[in-house]
Amino acid sequence: MATLNSSRDSILLESGTNEVEFIEFYLGSVSYGINVSKVQRVLARSSVSVTGVAQAPYGAVGMIHIQEQPIMLMDLKMSLGIPFDPESIDLERQLILVTTFNKQTTAFLIDGISKIHRTSWENFEPLNENVTSEGAGGYSTGTVTFDENIIVILDLERLMLALFPSSHGNLGVLESVECRPEREAVRILYAEDSKMVRGITEDILHSSGYVQVDAFENGEDAYNFLQKRIREKDFDGLGPYDLVLTDIEMPKMDGLTLCRRVKTEACSANPPKVIVYSSLINKEMALKCVSVGADAQLAKPDVRQIVDLIDSLCLEAVRNS
């Protein structure tokens, strides 16, 4: 078994440099990539036994066991809807990419691995439908190009939410959210590149009474809007926002960089609270969040806990203002 060393990623991200490392792999002739922080290890398919699962979900090959932990093995081409000929698959050459995100460990069958790239989020381009026309377009956050090779960056969180809505998304919570009028005074800046997650989170915030939410699809747009409000003094003098809620993985500017810049540049005199809300949150990533000044971290998909966390950080401050 090969375990990826994430120490490089720790150095890379802990200071909020807007850089990222991602692993490039391929399905057929197309290159794909995911954040190295999500990859636990890479295995040869021939090195593990696969146990069939009754009434397996679409795309599931079966269960594998790593250190006695049962892990669902998904055929990534099938899950993404990418056409392929089963008879052309060389089982001896296939690899298994073991990932951990959203507090879940899942394994994916891939055709091979190319290399690990280090780059800036500024180099990521919006989704190119021509590149992803084979079927992965609905589960891509965009592309990045190296030496004229276009790499499609996959949104595995969205894919798993679509395949396993009950285990990867606590979405049926609107009815249980109590609306409290004192939340209406809290001003929130929200950055999240996933349209689905952004919509779900905004619905919960609004239903709970947090109605002053300015939402953006990446950290750069959110930061530029924050600066615009500061320049135009479009607030009451206490600071333009009480809270910044941000994902980590976003094109143009990631959430760690957004947090660092909000705390040390734009609002250094009276910075808002910052919550990092990401599928990457674990013990190591929590330390990175603290290093850039975040006040709290929350792992997706615990959307209901967002309201409680914002309450704990903001309501008392708003009442005293």
Q: Residue 43's beta-bridge partner residues?
A: 96
Q: What is the CATH number of domain 170-320?
A: 3.40.50.2300
Mean pLDDT of 107-122: 93
| pLDDT bucket at 7, cuts 50 / 70 / 90 | very low
Element (H, E) at 126: none
Cα separation, 25 vs 247, whole angstroms = 24
How far, in Å, are 83, 220, 270 from residue 142 at the CA level? 20, 16, 35
Cα separation, 246 vs 243, whole angstroms = 10
Mean pLDDT of 290-303: 89
Q: What are phi and psi of 92, to 5 degrees?
A: -70, -25
Q: Chain centroid to CA 44: how far?
A: 26
* Rounded (5°) CA angle 80-144-71: 40
**Is-contact 186 212, C-beta < 8 A?**
yes
Residues 132-183 have pLDDT tens digits of 444 555 788 889 998 889 999 998 888 888 887 765 445 555 556 789 999 9
pLDDT > 70 fraction of the chain, expressed in percent and rounded: 85
pTM given for the model: 0.83
Mean pLDDT rounded to a whole number for the chain: 84
Whether pLDDT at 15 is above 70:
no
Q: Which of 58-67, 150-159, 165-174, 288-297 has the lowest mean pLDDT?
A: 165-174
Cα separation, 246 vs 250, whole angstroms = 9
Q: What is the CATH number of domain 2-166?
A: 2.40.50.180
Mean pLDDT of 283-293: 92
- Residue spans per domain, the chain: 2-166, 170-320
User: Burial code of 228-246, b = ≥16 C-beta within 10 A, e = fewer?
Assistant: ebeeeeeeeeebbbbbbbb
Residues 193-232 have pLDDT tens digits of 888 889 889 999 999 999 999 999 999 999 999 999 999 8
